[in-house]
């Protein structure tokens, strides 16, 4: 009788493209996630956890550089015997699931809905040095705000986040562009073929690696890379390629110079001109809050690979040098990116829902902090700065920035400001302790109105008319005393600056 074969022992090894995290790796990441979350919360964003698994239909096909069904994701079919038969997949980012969540729960959520999410995502791509199939992302998104003030806020928050985790000014730059400008350039080029347009986008995304000459070659017949391999080009003529080169090289010494160059690059394109105007507004809103070109710049070379972006796009790049495996100096590179995606929720609802957000690559950011040797309960909602005049958005953003600089959570109302009652309902729904009110009369007199929402709720519930007169829930303060007066109201309720 033959001996039964022994079952071979399984190999104790990671699947290709996955890794284990031990001790310090886990605790360092947790500490950094909490630091990032604190910045997000200071801007009024709330946490959301959604499943790691979504239907493939809900995720959509938005990963870059894929040309076959389900490519880029880990997907499987449900057991048809159970009557389901749906395809499921591990999420490839945290944005596509947000679109599903908002579409599903929009009746219960405030609008705009500001959420942050943190967790692992999975991509079925070829692994390489430092490139894994599972990695952490840390996102913040605003859904339901059409104003580019929401985009400017995300960029400012990204800069604040990098500094909070230990990346000082001078070691990073947030670069901002607009897909509408790029669409204007493609329109000027007369490219109607979607495959050719996608090939041009991929070529533009390589500008920082191959430079102007390399882009010209890739837009034309092609080029040989450093290894000697020939990379086939898009096949454009030099005249067709010129608008792309003009677009990529339009960054000037100042934001105004860059915007002027971009306006020239888009020519008569209406969508291109709209993108330039949005970039100008973003630059003005950021400047009003004190975010200069040492932190945030307009940069036409930012494209972003995901196909769902529809407007402003942004990327955070670390500018300090590190040494690679071969001892050569190189810049660390990008650690975060995002943009506006106004059509993503529409896939579920059939109605346009504006949205914008950013995603931080947690593992890359941790690696950067290690290179520099810098690794290290329920609460009240934010103070809400109401909007009485659309034209004064920069003033309102500046107020919120001052409060945040003093450690006080604050946000500007980014919904439709026409109905002031809706703004106060929004503040109540957010659990805001204070609402800041500053209309034309207040601006002329150099004051603001501060509405103590906690006291107001107490008075509305039980106080008599005499008590209401003795304890007014709304007080007037000099504009210069905004921070001190808000802090005093919080202290009267036993709240610290960040509570």
* Residues 449-475 pLDDT 10s: 999 999 888 887 765 555 555 567 899
Domain edges within the chain: 40-371, 383-492
Q: What is the pLDDT of residues 318-373, one digit of tens each?
A: 988 776 666 666 777 889 999 999 988 998 999 889 999 999 999 889 888 887 77
pLDDT in tens, the chain (499 residues): 567 778 888 899 999 999 998 887 888 899 999 999 999 999 999 999 999 999 988 887 666 544 444 578 888 887 765 555 688 899 999 999 999 999 999 999 999 999 999 999 999 888 877 778 999 999 999 999 999 999 999 999 999 999 999 999 999 999 999 999 988 888 888 776 777 777 887 787 778 778 888 888 888 888 887 777 888 888 888 888 888 888 888 888 899 999 999 999 888 899 999 999 999 999 999 999 999 999 999 998 887 765 678 999 999 999 887 766 666 667 778 899 999 999 889 989 998 899 999 999 998 898 888 877 766 544 578 999 999 999 999 999 999 999 999 999 999 999 998 899 999 999 999 999 999 999 999 999 999 999 999 988 888 776 555 555 556 789 999 999 999 999 999 999 888 776 5
Q: In CATH terms, are 40-371 and 383-492 the same topology?
A: no
Q: Is 98 annotated as a binding residue?
A: no
Q: Is 308 annotated as a binding residue?
A: yes
Task: Note whether 242 and 250 are within 8 A (CB).
Answer: no
Task: Note whether 161 and 360 are within 8 A (CB).
Answer: yes
Amino acid 275: pLDDT: 95
CATH class in words for 383-492: alpha beta
Amino acid 201: pLDDT: 77
Q: Is 295 annotated as a binding residue?
A: no
Q: Is 93 annotated as a binding residue?
A: yes
Q: Which residues contact 436 (CB under 8 A, 6 or more apart)?
A: 383, 384, 385, 386, 399, 448, 449, 450, 451, 482, 486
Q: What are phi and psi of 148, to 5 degrees?
A: -70, -5
Cα–chain center distance at 344:
15
The span from the CA of 89 to the CA of 140, in Å, is 22
Q: What is the pLDDT of residues 71-120, one digit of tens each?
A: 788 888 877 655 556 888 999 999 999 999 999 999 999 999 999 999 99
Q: Is 9 annotated as a binding residue?
A: no
* Structure token digits, residue 452: 């103590």
Q: Is 106 annotated as a binding residue?
A: no
Backbone angle region of 73, left / alpha / beta, with phi > 0 → left and psi within -120 to 50 → alpha: beta
Choosing among 3.40.50.300, 3.60.15.10, 3.90.960.10, 3.30.930.10, the CATH entry for 40-371 is: 3.30.930.10
The span from the CA of 361 to the CA of 135, in Å, is 8
Q: Is 304 annotated as a binding residue?
A: yes
Amino acid 62: pLDDT: 62
> How many residues would you count in the chain?
499
CB 200: neighbour CB atoms within 10 A?
25
Task: Note whether 152 and 282 are within 8 A (CB).
Answer: yes
The residue assigned the tokens 């996630």 is: 33
Task: Note whether 445 and 435 are within 8 A (CB).
Answer: no
């Amino acid at each position: 009788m033959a001996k039964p074969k022994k079952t071979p022992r399984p190999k104790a090894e990671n699947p290709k493209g996955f890794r284990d995290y031990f001790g310090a790796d886990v605790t360092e990441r947790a500490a950094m996630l909490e630091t990032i979350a604190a910045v997000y919360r200071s801007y009024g964003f709330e946490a959301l956890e959604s499943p790691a698994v979504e239907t493939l239909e809900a995720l959509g096909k938005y990963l870059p550089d894929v040309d076959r069904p389900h490519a880029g994701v880990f997907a499987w079919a449900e057991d048809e015997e159970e009557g389901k038969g749906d395809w499921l997949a591990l999420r490839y980012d945290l944005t596509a699931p947000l679109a599903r969540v908002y579409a599903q729960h929009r009746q219960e959520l405030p609008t705009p809905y500001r959420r942050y999410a943190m967790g692992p995502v999975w991509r079925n791509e070829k692994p390489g040095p430092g490139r894994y199939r599972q990695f952490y992302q840390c996102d913040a998104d605003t859904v339901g705000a059409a104003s580019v003030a929401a985009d400017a806020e995300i960029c400012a928050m990204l800069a604040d986040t990098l500094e909070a985790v230990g990346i000082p000014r001078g070691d990073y730059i947030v670069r901002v562009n607009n897909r509408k400008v790029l669409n204007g350039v493609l329109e000027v080029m007369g490219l109607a073929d979607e495959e050719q347009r996608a090939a041009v986008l991929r070529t533009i995304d390589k500008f920082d690696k191959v430079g102007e000459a390399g882009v010209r070659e890739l837009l034309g017949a092609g080029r040989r890379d450093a290894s000697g391999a020939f990379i086939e080009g898009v096949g454009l003529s030099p005249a067709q390629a010129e608008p792309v080169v003009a677009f990529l090289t339009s960054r000037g010494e100042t934001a105004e110079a860059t915007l002027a160059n971009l306006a020239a690059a888009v020519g008569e394109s209406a969508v291109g001109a709209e993108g330039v105007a949005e970039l100008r507004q973003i630059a003005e809103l950021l400047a009003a809050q004190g975010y200069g070109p040492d932190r945030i710049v307009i940069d036409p070379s930012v494209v972003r690979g995901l196909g769902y972006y529809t407007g402003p796009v942004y990327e955070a790049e670390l500018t300090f040098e590190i040494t690679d495996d071969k001892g050569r100096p190189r810049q660390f590179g990008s650690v975060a990116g995002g943009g506006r995606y106004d059509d993503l929720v529409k896939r579920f609802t059939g109605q346009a829902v504006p949205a914008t957000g950013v995603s931080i690559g947690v593992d890359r950011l941790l690696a950067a902090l290690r290179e520099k040797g810098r690794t290290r309960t329920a609460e009240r909602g934010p103070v809400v700065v109401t909007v009485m005049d659309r034209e004064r958005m920069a003033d309102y953003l500046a107020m919120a920035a001052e409060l945040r600089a003093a450690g006080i959570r604050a946000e500007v109302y980014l919904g439709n400001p026409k109905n002031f009652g809706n703004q106060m309902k929004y503040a109540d729904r957010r659990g805001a302790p204070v609402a800041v009110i500053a209309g034309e009369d207040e601006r002329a007199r150099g004051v603001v109105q501060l509405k103590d929402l906690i006291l107001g709720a107490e008075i509305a519930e039980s106080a008599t008319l005499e008590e209401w007169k003795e304890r007014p829930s709304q007080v007037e303060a000099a504009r210069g005393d905004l921070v001190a007066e808000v802090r005093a109201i919080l202290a009267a309720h036993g709240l610290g600056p960040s509570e």
